[in-house]
Structures are given as structure tokens and as C-alpha cells.
Chain A
Amino acid sequence: MSAPTKQRPTTDERAATGVATLEAEGIHILREVAGEFDRPALLFSGGKDSTVLVHLAVRAFAPLPPPFTLVHVDTGHNFPEVLRFRDELVERYNLKLHVAEVQDWIDRGKVQERPDGLRNPLQTVPLLDTITEQRYDAVIGGGRRDEERSRAKERVFSVRDAFGRWDPRRQRVELWNLYNGMHKPGEHVRVFPISNWTELDVWRYVAERDIELPSLYFAHQREVYQRDGMWLTPGQWGGPDDDGELVEKTVRYRTVGDGSCTGAVESDAATVEDIIEEIKASRLTERGASRADDRISEAAMEDRKREGYF
């Protein structure tokens, strides 16, 4: 490896963007996972957070490929743009991908469709079954502590019991940057390398590294209908109710999860720079603006995390 010494941003230039320290922390954590565990996997949804994770992993192990399998739990309600993006990314970086289709679990009778049609909560069982079947001992995710107040309590290395459950009262202390990955057989560890990043940090990093994201994140024309104050895209998961109507809007997505419960926001932000300005001015959190399933109860996220959800 005798590549020429490249020109790189100075330390001060990188610090000025506010993400240099966070990137170093994320790379440190990913290398710890690779060193401590036998079968680590990286949970990949095609969204901005997990895409940033993939880029961190590529950078952490360059010039070799990252030693993680990508795992995607596909609810069957994914946006086609996201699936296309996923497959292109996997090919570009020569990564391994394992897809768990929620539909398979429904067909086998292991999970049932919900009356409200939401499939996001149905991801937990396929995820836990996949972890068991594939014998993953660490699962890396793009969760951030700024997303939701029960996530603010999450450790970087978080042990899950043999049932995949999170018990916030029995969390290990986490000191310095000494991450304790010890676990008993059957247990696994969830790892969150971008815990300390905010939504704005993610976009600043996307700008700094020129990271490609699904087109859904940028303003575009789309037929949408309104439900519970959110703009939803019609799809195989359903369209507008009898009293609803389809309208054409200029929108973008702040999160790209399951299509049945992820709402678009009205926006003209067509570039990463526009989006950074929009987020700085926004008075809504990304989950508050675009996730129906967090509204189920005051502790919806905590309850799902206890069951084993990310």
C-alpha cells in the first residue's frame, strides 16, 4: 500500500464542522465490535443513519471491506427507491446482505397483521429470530440518543437477554471508552456507534463526506394523503381512507422507515445544504414529524425496546 499522501482537511477545518470527534468515536466503537465479537451484524434499513454507519464501517477498516454482514428486516412496505438504493450500496462496497422478510413470518403464521395495518412493530420477531438463527452475537444499529427520551437512556453497548429484551434498570455502567461486550451464551449485544450524534450532525457528515442517500430525503413531487396530521404515500399497505383524498405535494422524508407509518413533510429542501438549513429552523423532531407508531402511547418506544425492537 504505497498510495500517495492525500491532501486532507486540517484538524481545525474538521472540528469546525463539529463531526470529527463524533466520527473518531464511531470508528473506535466499530473497531471494538470487530475485535470483541465472533459474528457481528449491522442492521441496515437504507435510511440516513444506517447509511452513515456503513460509511463509517468502510472507513474504519479501509482498505479492507468491513467485517460485518448487513441485515435488513424488510417489512414488505418499503419504498422501492430505498430497496434500489440498498442493493446499489451493497454492490458498490462489495458487502454481504441478509434480508429477513416480514411477509415470510406472516405466511408461516409466526406474526399476525395488526388491525391498524402497521408493520413496523412486526419487525421485532423476525429480527430476534434472525439474530438467533444466524447466531449473531452483536448487532450494530443507527439509533441515536436524541431521537426519543427512552433512547436517551441507552448505552453504546447494550446487552439483551436470551429473549432479546432491554431492561433499562439493569443496564451496565459504561465508563470512559471501555466498552464491555461480555455476554452469556444466548444473549447478544446491541451496539450504537452514533449514539451521540444528532439529526443535524448526521446531515453535516453527509455533506462533509458527500454521502449518497435515497432520493426520498430530498424535495420532490408526490401524491400523498393526510392521516393524523401526516402526509402518507399510498402503496400496497393501503391508500387514503374513504373520506381522504390524494393530493400532489412537494415533500421530502426526514426518516425512511416502513411506508405505512412514515410520513413526509412539506419541504422545498432539494439539496443537503437546504436540508441542514431546514433542520436548524424546524420546530419538530424528526420522529414527531414523521413516525405514527411513536404516537401509540407516552412510552411507545420504551415498550417496543423492552420487547427487543431497536
Chain B
Amino acid sequence: MTTDLLRLVTAGSVDDGKSTLVGRLLYDTKSVLSDQLDAVLRSSAERGLDNPDLSLLVDGLRAEREQGITIDVAYRYFATARRTFVLADTPGHVQYLRNTVTGASTADHAVLLTDARKGVLPQTRRHLAVMAMLGVPGITLAVNKLDLVDFDRGTFESTRDEFVAHAVSLGYREEQVTAIPLSALAGDNVVTESEHTPWYDGPTLLEHLETVVPDPRGSDVGFRMPVQYVLRDGTTDYRAYAGQVVAGEVAPGDHVVVLPDGTTTTVVEVGTPDGPVDRAHEGEPVTLVLADEIDITRGDLIAAADRRPRVAEEFDATVCWLAEEPLRPGARVLLRHGTHTTDCRVTGLSTRFDEQELAVLDGPEELALNEIGKVRLHVADPLPVDDYRDCIATGAFLLIEPGDGNTLAAGLLGDSLSVMAHGARDD
């Protein structure tokens, strides 16, 4: 679906000035209204600060303001004449990497921050690896605090070159990666062009975000629609299957297959909230009426009959483990894929991505909080799956703790880890 809405994720290390950058973007795009600013001025004064602390605009929880850190992902909204932005503002602390994964899972573009004095840090590489794994299609490196190195061109260029090389080794094309020299505190090159960087002829951060065209994320697999809800009317014989077109398109007359069962039929009517249509595209909510009476329930997938996903009970996947209690082979969990939830056993754990060395290690015994690894899964109900790289909606899944229902892991079908392994070889 065409859109002028850009979903952003921000990430960076502790103290690189991320909250200040986000505060600056909101402030300079006039997305901060006077009552919000008054509240920040009041709180800043109560804390004995001379200047308003723009990070108070974004740290919304009591504990965050008390400790001066960002704990949880927060969503911000701002708009310019050209575009509307939804920004997932994620914390920098290593122990909150799961929130970076959360923000990145839906992002069209990532802004990574680094402190010009420090260059590319392990945390920067870690965040970049997460973006690469999740397939975030564009990256901007904000080389921040450039005022503290006298707006030195050489510092910026060496940081940029190191970052771009690393991104390319993780599978990015050079044109997907941009670096911008800026100072969030003073506002240089964030929204307004800086007088201090005459050697830089690129866009400001906001100009870049307004004009960047993200690659469409995946989904070159043919029509896919997980069944969300069955609409049935007892008095007429109306029966339709409600869902979102998550890949491809659908039209009356199309030949489709219902999975995992494998029964084929024909689409009679493609309904939308505005009535029946000739064709519906990726991203649109639809209600399908089918030619044959087939037993279809929530959790089934309707797909193009000539371009089907594979149906499997055992598969390899990359998981990012998000729970305190480590993952060990043999674990029994629930797996949520599309609209289907099924029992799942983790039958193997083959590799682990080492965050410090940025390398892939064989034969780990467990995955601890925030660790990424390759697992083998066995599910009770066969699932229609695509590789995450080909289609996010049919390639992503969650692992869930059966006891309390908490989400344990972000899962990606196929071998997303090899992208990261490739990056590690170039270090």
C-alpha cells in the first residue's frame, strides 16, 4: 500500500544524546506544544537545571525521570508538510536490547546514533546487526556531538567509512546507508543546516527522513492471507473469511489454496470495508467469499494456489531470546505464527551470535537474555511458512511461555543468522 507514513526506529548507546536528538526533532518540527514545553521547563527548573532538558519530553515514566534513563520503547508522532512519522524511540542500555528489536520489527528506516568522540562502538555494531537481521531497509548514522570535536571533517568521514563498510558486510547496499554530521544539543544539521560544516553538502537529518524512499519490505511470494475471523450469517448463507492481504494481491476468479489442509478453490468475491472490489493489494483488509464450502477457521492461511508456501512441522529459525530465564534445547513453548498458535518444542540449538566478538559460535548450551541464535523447532500443527527474507508476515513468529503467556522470543524463519555471520567474517 502506498503511504506517506514513515515508521522510524532510533537506537544508540547510553549517553550518546538520543533523547536529546528525539527531543530536538520534535521541538524543531514544532511537534512540541506549549503546555508540554511548560511541563518540561517546570521539571527542569525543579531539578535545578539552567536549560530545559529536552530528554524530559520523551522519558514518560516516573522511574525514567527519576533515574534519568529511558527504560521502555515509546512511540512519538511528528509530521512535516511532506510526511508523517511514527518514531519508535528505543533505549540504549544493553539489557534493553529487546526493545530495540521491538521497535525495529515494524520500522521502514533506522536512525543509529554515535558520539563523534567515540566512533563506531560495539553497541553500534550490535544495533546494526539487529537491523540487518530484521531486514530494516534503510539506515542513517547520526554522528552526534560533532561540536565536541570542533566539527572536524576527518572525524566524521572516518566514522562514516567504518560504519558503511560494516553495514555493507552485513548485506546492505551502499545506497541504503547514509551518515550525517550533527549536534543534537545545538541543533546543527538536525532540522536546520549547520554553518559549522561547510565541507558537508548532504541533507539535514530531517530532509533526509522526509525524502528517503524505503525499499518495500520483502513479500515477493504471491498472495497470502492469514484467516483472522470467519464472518457467518445464520439467516442468509453469507460466509466470508476476514483477514489482511499480507503479500501479493487477490482478485475474483483467483485460484487459491487453504493451508495447512491443502484444499484448493476459487475466490468469488473480494470484499473491503467499501464494498466488493476488482482487486485488493498488500496491506488491505479484505473479506473473501470462496466458491466451495470448505472447513476454514482462524489460523488457516489462504494463499495463491500456484505460489504456495511450504508446509512444515520441523524447521530452522533464528531467534532473539527476550526472557530472563535462558532458552535450553528441549524447552516446550507455544509458537504464534500469523493467526495460528500451536505447541512447540525446541529440538536443537546449533549456533549463537557472539555480541562481543560479532562472530557466530557453534554448539552453545543455552541462549541467555538478548542473545541471538539458530534453533530447530518442532511444532504440533504443521505450519505454512515462508522465509522471513521473502515475506515478513509468514516468516516471523513469537515464542510464548505457556504458563503466564509472556512473549519469550522473536523468531525469523530461515537462516537470517548467516547474514550476521557474513558480517562477522569481515571484522
Q: Which residue numbers of A lie inside 8 Å of B, CB to CB?
A: 1-6, 8, 11-12, 15-16, 18, 20-24, 27-28, 31-32, 34-35, 59-64, 145-146, 148-153, 159, 168-169, 171-178, 180, 182-184, 195-196, 198, 200-201, 282-285, 288-289, 298-299, 302
Contact = CB atoms under 8 A, between A and B. Distances in A.
B296 to A, nearest CB: 13
Nearest to A13: B2
21 contacts: A1-B240, A4-B276, A15-B2, A16-B4, A20-B3, A21-B3, A24-B283, A31-B242, A31-B285, A34-B228, A62-B271, A62-B287, A63-B231, A64-B238, A148-B60, A150-B61, A173-B99, A196-B86, A284-B34, A288-B34, A302-B62
A150 B240 CA distance: 39
A285 B36 CA distance: 8
Interface residues of B, number: 77
A249 B334 CA distance: 59
A175 B407 contact: yes
A62 B71 CA distance: 41
Given A8-B275, A175-B410, A168 B1 contact: no
Contact of B392 (A3, A176, A184, A198): A176
Interface in B1-44: 1-5, 33-36, 39, 43
Contact of A24 (B271, B285, B396): B285
B312 interface: no
**Cβ-closest 4 pairs across A and B:** A182-B405, A288-B35, A149-B60, A59-B273
Contacts of B272: 8
Contact of A173 (B62, B101, B232, B276): B101
B398 A175 contact: yes
A180 B322 CA distance: 14
A34 B407 CA distance: 21
A64 B322 CA distance: 40
B281 interface: yes
Nearest to A148: B60
A178 B2 contact: no
B380 to A, nearest CB: 16
Interface of B is mostly: mixed
Contact of B228 (A32, A148, A176, A282): A32
A180 B407 contact: yes
A298 B43 contact: yes
Contact of B273 (A27, A285, A288): A27
A194 to B, nearest CB: 12
B343 to A, nearest CB: 13
A205 B367 CA distance: 45
Contacts of B76: 152
Given A32-B339, A64-B232, A174-B102, 9 more contacts: A1-B240, A8-B275, A24-B283, A60-B285, A152-B58, A169-B72, A176-B392, A177-B393, A183-B405
B205 to A, nearest CB: 21
Contacts of A183: 405
Contacts of A168: 61, 63, 71-72
Given A31-B242, A173-B322, A175-B398, A282 B33 contact: yes
Contacts of A153: 60-61, 72-74
A20 B77 contact: no
A298 B36 CA distance: 11
B244 A152 contact: no
